[in-house]
């Protein structure tokens, strides 16, 4: 075979895991927005350089821009080879891509092929991958039988999914993938939400790795998890699937939430900023009362109030409307929030036919 080999994503997909490296030659900001799962970023032009060359294209002429771009690209590729790839053997097999599979990945793939590595270049670049993801998310969910874990806020749904995953069950944890717990207080303090494209990539990566012969456990999410949209076909499949209703006492739900939202306990001002978002639903006076509970350290009382006045009514209103089989849901009674209880229940669900 002549190298660099120019491959479509359909040709690449069956052997994606066999490449020794998947190299994204785009700029850091492009890579941060989304990339092929498992790829490493080796930009042939960084963001400032890309802007500089692009400006020269528009304001001077193509020839001058290409000269500048070639010098920058050659320098950057040399740096990547020196710092990352000098120790790679002759049989090392990389896949390289850029935005459209043009000059940026072409330059890197050409130099790697001249060195002697059996390098492949993705025809159509990231755009061809993105088209595949969009098409797949309209079809992949239809292959699986989902089991939906339902329950009001604080009932342990996410924790149950985590234990199921640890026990080897197929779990699609939408909140983990979205870096958000799915409510007005759901932002994670140490992690920003991914872009919509990156969220889609995480979903695609998980779904295409699942076995259609085995069930997929998922939480009863709404159409949006924070700022991110769950794809329509996946949402429709979930809403038409068998449900399990997790039941946990309200005192235990309060305790579980205090464990999961410890960052709000440590920062009442942050909590009160988020609570202010509920004023349009409950009015300023009610929210001001909740904020005072937060400032005075009456956190358990606050959490109980929020469950009783906000979360539980909202859950009761939406779950029956949105999940077709919830009325026939199998109830899962959790006597406590111990690790042993979650392990026992997860094992029962995992082994259930």
Residues tagged active-site: 98
What is the C-alpha to C-alpha distance for residues 127 and 136, in angstroms, rounded to an integer?
14
Q: Which helix (H) or strand (E) holds 7?
A: strand 5-7
Strand pairing category for 330-333 and 243-247? parallel
Quick one: CA torsion of 129, 39, 232, 224, rounded to 10 degrees? -150
Contact 239, 231 (CB under 8 A): no
What is the C-alpha to C-alpha distance for residues 61 and 64, in angstroms, rounded to an integer?
6
- Phi and psi angles of residue 101, each rounded to the nearest 5 degrees, phi first: 80, 35
Quick one: CA torsion of 162, 168, 172, 176, rounded to 10 degrees? 30
What is the C-alpha to C-alpha distance for residues 172 and 215, in angstroms, rounded to an integer?
10
Peptide bond between residue 4 and the one before it cis (omega within 30 degrees of 0): yes
From residue 218, alpha-carbon distances to 160, 177, 243, 259, 312 in Å are 10, 12, 10, 22, 20
Question: What does the DSSP 8-state code read for residue 210?
Answer: S
From residue 158, alpha-carbon distances to 9, 89, 203, 246 in Å are 34, 44, 17, 11
Q: Which tokens hold the place of 153? A: 């806020």
């Amino acid at each position: 075979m002549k190298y660099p080999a120019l491959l479509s994503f359909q040709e690449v997909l069956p052997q994606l895991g066999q490449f020794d490296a998947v190299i994204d030659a785009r700029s850091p900001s492009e890579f941060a927005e989304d990339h092929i799962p498992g790829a490493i970023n080796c930009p042939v032009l960084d963001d400032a350089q890309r802007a500089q060359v692009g400006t020269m294209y528009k304001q001077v002429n193509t020839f001058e821009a290409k000269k500048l771009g070639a010098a920058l690209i050659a320098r950057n590729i040399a740096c990547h080879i020196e710092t990352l790839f000098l120790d790679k053997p002759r049989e090392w097999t990389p896949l390289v891509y850029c935005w459209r599979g043009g000059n940026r990945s072409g330059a890197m793939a050409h130099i790697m092929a001249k060195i002697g590595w059996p390098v492949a270049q993705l025809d159509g670049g990231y755009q061809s991958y993105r088209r595949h993801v969009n098409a797949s998310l309209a079809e992949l969910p239809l292959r699986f039988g989902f089991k939906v874990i339902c329950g009001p806020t604080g009932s342990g749904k996410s924790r149950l999914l985590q234990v199921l995953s640890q026990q080897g069950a197929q779990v699609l944890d939408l909140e983990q993938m979205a870096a958000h717990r799915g409510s007005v207080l759901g932002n994670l303090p140490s992690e920003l939400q991914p872009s919509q494209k990156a969220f889609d990539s995480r979903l695609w990566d998980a779904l295409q790795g699942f076995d259609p012969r085995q069930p997929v456990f998922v939480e009863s999410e709404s159409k949006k998890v924070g700022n991110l949209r769950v794809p329509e076909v996946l949402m429709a499949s979930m809403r038409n699937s068998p449900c399990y209703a997790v039941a946990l006492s309200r005192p235990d739900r309060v305790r579980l939430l205090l464990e999961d939202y410890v960052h709000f306990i440590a920062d009442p001002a942050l909590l009160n900023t988020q609570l202010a978002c509920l004023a349009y639903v409950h009015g300023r006076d009610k929210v001001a009362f909740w904020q005072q509970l937060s400032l005075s350290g009456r956190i358990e009382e606050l959490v109980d109030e929020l469950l009783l006045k906000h979360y539980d009514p909202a859950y009761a209103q939406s779950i029956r409307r949105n999940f077709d089989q919830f009325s026939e849901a199998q109830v899962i009674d959790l006597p406590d929030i111990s690790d042993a209880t979650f392990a026992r229940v997860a094992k029962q669900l995992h082994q259930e036919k």
